[in-house]
Amino acid sequence: MRLANRDGRLLLLGADGTRGLDVAEASGGRFGPDPMVALASLDALRDWAAGQDPAQGAPVDPAALGPCVPSPASVFAIGLNYRDHAEEAGLEAPKAPMVFTKFPSCLAGPHATVPLHSERVDWEVELVVAIGRGGRAIAEADALDAVAGYCVGQDISDRALQFKDRPPQFSLGKSLDAYGPIGPALVTLDEVSDPLDLGLTCDVGDERMQDGRTRDMIFAVPELVAYLSRHCPLRPGDLIFTGTPAGVGSVREPRRYLAHGEVLTSRIEGLGELRNRCERAD
């Protein structure tokens, strides 16, 4: 299933994302419109969706979509989870997952405008995991059963705010309004070709900045789910931003940051793309 959010209502999208069904309407009220409620009852939704043809539904404008998971209880994020990114940052690869949070208010739709509050706003394309059943102390072998699906995410970072003083403020510098665009849809794992190996890219305008594969994560998705759930409960709809590959702007030579009018395009194989225009904030 490809599950999207338009005006707070759950949509079931067809494979190319251009058409879809309003789940509450199409199910005659069997399912409510709230995308968060659906995440807690995915099995029932999947049974119903098997009899639907969303590709025959009404046209869907991706620019009108909100975040596919609009109000998770927790948004975990992992720093330095690709060896090439740790190397470019001049830091040793971590021995345990480096965990911080993006506050849920930063989540935004796949075409949200990104306000630039400083001259040092940076990009980080990331695979985002949405928790389905969740739980505590989930074994690595069972971890993917606790996951609802994946979407594309951008861990947009105001490096001026993040590195204003020591120690750095990861959570605040990465949680300004619209600094967590996700989508375009939550893709359930049965539709993902290989949950542990997907290509991901990030372009600024026509320039390719990042080009990686999720198999190069230091801590793969099952390890992250197991590690986090050992310390905190994972609840339906919780998100995990799983880290970014090499190519961010703040460690390039010369340094490169997002500028007014530029469009940031983030893609993950089989999941779709985000297109976020950047605008100077006054």
Two structure tokens written together for 70: 């609009």
Nearer to Zn ion, 229 or 244 (CB): 244
β pairing state of 107-108 and 180-188: parallel
Q: Least Å distance between CB 263 and Zn ion?
A: 20
Nearer to Zn ion, 173 or 272 (CB): 173
Nearer to Zn ion, 4 or 228 (CB): 228
Annotate each residue in 232-261 with x if it binds Zn ion (CB under 5 A) or - if it does not, as one string: ------------x-----------------
CA distances from 125 to 31, 64, 196, 215 (A): 32, 21, 16, 15
Q: Which of 31, 114, 124, 125 binds Zn ion (CB under 5 A)?
A: 124
Annotate each residue in 169-198 with x if it binds Zn ion (CB under 5 A) or - if it does not, as one string: ------------------------------
Nearer to Zn ion, 188 or 210 (CB): 210
d(CA 208, CA 266): 10
Q: Which of 66, 149, 154, 155 binds Zn ion (CB under 5 A)?
A: 155
Nearer to Zn ion, 31 or 170 (CB): 170
Residue-level length of the chain: 282
Q: Least Å distance between CB 79 and Zn ion?
A: 6
Nearer to Zn ion, 244 or 266 (CB): 244
Two structure tokens written together for 192: 């993902």
Q: Least Å distance between CB 243 and Zn ion?
A: 6
d(CA 125, CA 121): 14
Any residues with CB less than 8 A from the CB of 177 and at least 6 apart, and which? 105, 106, 108, 115
d(CA 151, CA 69): 9
Binding part of the chain for Zn ion, among 105-113, 142-150, 154-162, 252-260 by CB under 5 A, reads 154-162
Binding part of the chain for Zn ion, among 110-118, 153-161, 165-173, 201-209 by CB under 5 A, reads 153-161
Residue with the shortest CB distance to Zn ion? 155
Residue numbers of the site for Zn ion (CB under 5 A)? Answer: 124, 155, 244
